Amino acid sequence: MPSLICDLEDLLAAWKAEARTFDACDMPASALAFRDCHRRLSALLDEHARHTAALTAELAAHEQQTQ
């Protein structure tokens, strides 16, 4: 979980940096920045979900072996 928090903090920092573009009223660049941040966040959460699913499967397999 700490790595997820660090990754989300990094993503938030990138989002804040891109927000300066929005503040300058450069709407097309802001739309691209938003889509990029959304894509990165989705990829990050998918990666952590796969990792969690793999750990759950390993634990279930281990429990079956010990019974």
Provide the residue-wise pLDDT of the chain in tens; the chain has 67 residues: 678 778 887 887 787 777 666 666 666 766 777 778 778 887 888 888 888 888 888 888 888 888 7
Is the CB of residue 18 less than 8 Å from the CB of residue 28? Answer: no
Domain range enclosing 56: 2-66
pTM greater than 0.75:
no
Domain tally, the chain? 1
Q: Residue 8 to residues 26, 46, 50, 57, 64: CA-CA distances in angstroms?
A: 25, 13, 17, 25, 35
Name 48's Cβ contacts closer than 8 Å, sequence gap at least 6: 4
Is the CB of residue 14 less than 8 Å from the CB of residue 44? Answer: no
